[in-house]
Amino acid sequence: MSLRIIHLATARTWRGGEQQVAYLAGELSRYEQVEQCIVCTRHSAMHRYCLEQKLPHVALRKGFSFNLWFAYQLKKTCCQFKANLLHLHDPHAHQFGVLAADVFGNKTPMVLARRVDYPIKNNAYTLYKYNHPLIERIVCVSEAVKQVMLSVVKNPNKLVRIYSGIDLERYHPQKTGGILRSEFNLSPDEIIIGNTGALSPQKDYYTFLNTARQLLDAGVKARFFIIGQGEQEKELKRYANEKGLSGKVIFTGFRTDIPDILPNFDLFLSTSVAEGLGTSVAAAMACGIPVVATQSGGVTEMVVHQKTGLVAPVGNSAQLAQLVLSLLHQPQLATQLSRAGVEHIQQFSKQNTAQHTYRLYREILSNDN
């Protein structure tokens, strides 16, 4: 049986979830008897990506999450494409999938992606959405996410863990020409400690800045890089100035050369309060960078304490600083952990994600028949 998959991705911006959709669609295109169509929001980052890559897609006007016209167009697209599975990749996609089924009679079986480890709201409609009869499986990107979902999903057999993947061909332990040192005029003896990701509350860059302050007070000669953009940029820059970190913390903004500059890091410091998995951490590990991280969501499934990295409680800048110091003072330990991290992270590839997802699709459709 051929697979005819519609991927519904409604976000306007491009973050980790959208990259996962792109990776998944790209890898599945290599499989025989797989046809795909991406339904996205008009003028969104995903729409632009589909146009650039010349991917089969339908771009709809979104407006808001209860837009019945969007839901109707989704149902119509499923019929025209003769889809046998609808993969919902974000919360608004989940909403539209339910509306298309309940209001307009769409019968296409659904797979729901759950990428965050936030608690689920405990109200009747939310519980109904997650237990909708047409949702065949909920793909959790980590065991941590799966544990959160157990509290709301009536049939635990519908929950399946499939790790998000990265492009391991782009991230590997090879030092580059010192792009950051050259661009920002760093001295050879300055340590580079950094993080990549959206400047959002989830990433808790306040703890990153507090940790930086404590390391500098301990005499560490370092520059701290925050690579990304987001809604908290202005307030984080203000807080950095208040902490006396001007010149020591560098906000680079959004960059497209992450695979080239990540290997410049001497240490990756992740301070997230919540992570479904944390593919930025995975990328750092693939580059052979020692990682110190918080115990947030699925991060600890990659950063195993004292085996592939070091972890501290969420928000504990003092302990994070101590762990960073321990790696700086014990370079052999840092090398040991980073090498183990490179080996461990090989299972988090985009190819593995696609392979497991393909098998899941096949399983669903064989059961339906």
Q: What pLDDT digit, counting tens, does each position of 82-131 carry?
A: 999 999 999 999 999 999 999 999 999 999 999 998 888 889 999 999 99
Q: What pLDDT digit, counting tens, does each position of 131-190 carry?
A: 999 999 999 999 999 999 999 999 999 999 999 999 999 998 876 668 999 999 999 999
Q: How many CA atoms lie within 13 A of 214 on its CB side?
A: 16
Q: What pLDDT digit, counting tens, does each position of 19-53 carry?
A: 999 999 999 999 999 999 999 999 999 999 999 99
Distance, in Å, from the CA atom of 92 to the CA atom of 4, rounded to the nearest integer, reads 22
**Alpha helices in the chain, H assignment, sequence order:** 16-28, 45-53, 68-81, 91-102, 124-130, 143-149, 179-183, 205-217, 233-242, 258-261, 279-286, 317-329, 331-344, 350-368
For 368, the token pair is: 């339906």
Residue 92 has φ and ψ, to the nearest 5°, of -70, -35
For 79, the token pair is: 């019929």
Distance, in Å, from the CA atom of 245 to the CA atom of 18, rounded to the nearest integer, reads 33
Average pLDDT over residues 54-83: 95
Tell me where in the chain the CATH 3.40.50.2000 domain(s) lie. Answer: 3-165+349-368, 179-347
pLDDT at residue 63 is higher than 90 = no
Average pLDDT over residues 48-62: 97
Average pLDDT over residues 345-367: 96
State in Å, rounded, how far the first CA of the chain is from the last one.
10
- Given pLDDT bands bounded at 50, 70 and 90, which one contains residue 64? confident
Distance, in Å, from the CA atom of 98 to the CA atom of 2, rounded to the nearest integer, reads 25
CATH entry 3.40.50.2000 includes domain 3-165+349-368:
yes
Average pLDDT over residues 215-239: 96
Topology annotation, domain 179-347: Rossmann fold (3.40.50)
pLDDT at residue 334 is higher than 70 = yes
pLDDT at residue 266 is higher than 70 = yes
